[in-house]
């Protein structure tokens, strides 16, 4: 059985949250049942299936953001929060 597609917000709404230096704050929920990105109260909430082991959840968050923004995962860099739920990424 195929997994359902991730629930993603409008790319323009997501880009509007990126600051002038290309940074985006993300709150992550690893080990979720479904993969999704949502914008709540001006914050990006990411839910990923991957467990927070060996950076798997970080990789999944970057891939999900890249899919939502329509860019390559290599253009997104984790700046802060490698072991935290609160992450700061640079979109370049």
What is the per-residue pLDDT for 1?
58
Q: What is the pLDDT along the chain (92 residues), one digit of tens a residue?
A: 566 777 899 999 999 999 999 999 999 999 999 999 999 988 999 999 999 999 999 999 999 999 999 999 999 999 999 999 999 999 99
Structure pTM? 0.92
Using CA atoms, how far apart are residues 10 and 69, in angstroms rounded to an integer? 8
What is the per-residue pLDDT for 7?
86
Domains of the chain: 11-91 (3.30.1200.10)
Say which residues have a Cβ less than 8 Å from residue 18's Cβ, sequence separation at least 6.
24, 91
């Amino acid at each position: 059985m195929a997994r359902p597609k991730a629930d993603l917000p409008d790319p323009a709404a997501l880009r509007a949250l990126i600051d002038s230096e290309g940074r985006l704050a993300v709150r992550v929920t690893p080990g979720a049942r479904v993969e999704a990105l949502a914008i709540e109260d001006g914050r990006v909430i990411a839910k990923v299936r991957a467990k927070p082991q060996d950076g798997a959840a970080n990789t999944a968050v970057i891939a999900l953001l890249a899919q939502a923004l329509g860019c390559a995962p290599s253009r997104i860099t984790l700046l802060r929060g490698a072991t935290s739920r609160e992450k700061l990424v640079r979109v370049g």
